[in-house]
Structure 1
Amino acid sequence: MSAEVDGRVALAAGIASVDGVSPLNEASRIAIASGAPPRVDETAYEGDLLVGVAYAAGDAPVELFVEPDHRRRGVGLQLLDRVLDQGESRFWAHGDLPGAQALARRRGLTAVRTLLVLERDTAAALPDERPVEGVTIRTWRDEDTAGVVAVNARAFASHPEQGAMDEADFRARTAQPWFDPAGLFVAERDGEVVGFHWTKVDPPVAEGGDVGEVYVVGVDPSEQGRGLGKALTLRGLHHLATLGLRRVDLYVEGDNTPALATYEGLGFRESARDVLYATGA
């Protein structure tokens, strides 16, 4: 990883410690670590100090962030104008903080998508697990990989990020330091994978982490309406409850009414939101 890339990662980490939310999502961090060529690669300096970044890889929206002590000095607007001039039209605002909202208003960007962050306290009681007839839920094995990727593609066919996960993406995620095969659960019917729940703890508990995540719950469309999504969610939540975590988070689309009802019924409440802003909406 080059000094330039190291600077971006360090800047993002410093911003997260101040704002309480990372300005780079996991996909971007994986792309940076792998050395993937960025589509957008703009920086701003004060002398030798990196104070602002606009970054995007693949077809992902741009993530733009400015060092907190250098905000309200035009750095963000300068970066935004540079990437708008390149034809970029979509921008993530992780946490949808007031500064991001103000920047969007300055250039007439409109909120087109909301990703909610929900959380629940692990001290709250969980419902007992209930089996789904004909389905076995067990921990993942390597030979399940193709089945998990196929179910993911069908379950998230209309999702702009998650639905694009292929086997290489899956392998990249399982290579991350947080990955624990004991926290990836697979639902099987007649020898075929029909659903999964991937949990996450980042950083690992051994390094002081105290927050778990419902990372992805995917159910094959053929199994919808049978209670499998709730059964998988509960299996993962019961697993996370055994790890001594303080709370569990998850991300869900703001317009996914059925999922929101399920999660709220399990004690999740909104704690933050990411908003996608776009031009010409």
Structure 2
Amino acid sequence: MDAVMVRSVRAEDLSGLEQIDQKIFGHLAYPYFVLRQYFDVHQSEILVAECEDRLIGYSIAVRSGADSQRDLAHFLALGVDIAQRGQGHGRTLAVETLRSLDRRGVKRVRLAVEPSNKPAITLYESLGFVRLRREQEYYGPNEPRFLYELMLAAAVYSRDRSSSAVPR
């Protein structure tokens, strides 16, 4: 497996991020303008994975804006280029995302996953996410999702900040 570097997103990454998102999520992919808005508002909360100077994945996890829930973040997206799957890149991105949230004082992380997406479900559950419920039309008609939550204090990922899952 080639070395993967996880870093903060840059403006020049947005086109590649959009291409990966479109391939993975099809009609539910974020349009470019939404990715640009996320970048403008939440740049520090978007990570990308590179392998040999090529963008191969991304994650978007944003902290709740509600003052009463500043300890809550929403893991909005995790995507790895289809050709790069099965090599641990999704896990690397997820772990680095959770570490970043933990460093910023987040205590709880929520996400939604398609019930048929077994690899994602396996990944999230292996990291300590617990299924809360199924919502039948979460993203509209015929778009059910399992909703998950993780308490970072109980997370399975390594909390050792002296080392990283990826080379820097």
Q: How would you bin the TM-score normalised by the shorter chain?
A: 0.7 to 0.9
List runs of 5+ in structure 1 lacking aligned partners.
1-131
Q: Deviation string for 1:91-127 (max 9, x for gaps)?
A: xxxxxxxxxxxxxxxxxxxxxxxxxxxxxxxxxxxxx
Among all aligned residue pairs of Structure 1 and Structure 2, give the percentage whose two residues are the same amino acid: 27
Q: Does 1:173 align with 2:38?
A: yes
Give the whole-Å Cα distance in 2 for the aligned partners of 1:261 and 1:234. 14
* Shift of residue 273, structure 1, vs aligned partner: 2.8
1:248 partner SS: strand
User: Which residue among 124, 141, 146 is the counterpart of 2:10?
Assistant: 141
Give the whole-Å Cα distance in 1 for the aligned partners of 2:24 and 2:61. 17
Q: Deviation string for 1:231-255 (max 9, x for gaps)?
A: 1000000111112223111110112
User: Which residue among 49, 53, 58 is the counterpart of 1:187?
Assistant: 49
Q: 1:117 matched to which residue of 2? A: none
Q: Does 1:267 align with 2:132?
A: no
Q: TM-score under structure 1 normalisation?
A: 0.46
* Amino acid paired to 1:270: R
User: Which residue among 75, 84, 90 is the counterpart of 1:223?
Assistant: 84
Give the whole-Å Cα distance in 1 for the aligned partners of 2:106 and 2:127. 17
- Between 1 and 2, higher relative CO (CA 8 Å, sep ≥ 6) is seen in 1
User: Which residue among 77, 95, 106 is the counterpart of 1:245?
Assistant: 106
1:195 partner SS: strand
Q: TM-score under structure 2 normalisation?
A: 0.74
How is 1:64-75 mapped onto 2 (pairs within 5 angstroms)? none
* Amino acid paired to 1:167: Y
Q: Deviation string for 1:56-92 (max 9, x for gaps)?
A: xxxxxxxxxxxxxxxxxxxxxxxxxxxxxxxxxxxxx
1:216 partner SS: strand
Give the whole-Å Cα distance in 1 for the aligned partners of 2:60 and 2:141. 30
2:136 partner SS: strand
How is 1:1-281 mapped onto 2 (pairs within 5 angstroms)? 133-157=2-26, 160-161=27-28, 163=29, 165-175=30-40, 179-203=41-65, 207-208=67-68, 209-276=70-137
* Amino acid paired to 2:120: A
Give the whole-Å Cα distance in 1 for the aligned partners of 2:136 and 2:90. 25
1:225 partner SS: coil
* Shift of residue 173, structure 1, vs aligned partner: 3.3
List runs of 5+ in structure 2 lacking aligned partners.
143-168
Give the whole-Å Cα distance in 1 for the aligned partners of 2:4 and 2:39. 25
Q: CA RMSD in A?
A: 2.1
* Amino acid paired to 1:199: A
* Shift of residue 214, structure 1, vs aligned partner: 1.4
2:15 partner SS: helix
Q: 1:75 matched to which residue of 2? A: none
1:234 partner SS: helix
* Shift of residue 278, structure 1, vs aligned partner: 5.4
Give the whole-Å Cα distance in 2 for the aligned partners of 1:171 and 1:137. 20
Change (3 A) 1:278 1:229: closer
**Structure exhibiting the larger radius of gyration computed from Cα positions:** 1
**How many pairs does the alignment contain?**
139
1:180 partner SS: helix
2:119 partner SS: helix
Give the whole-Å Cα distance in 1 for the aligned partners of 2:106 and 2:49. 25
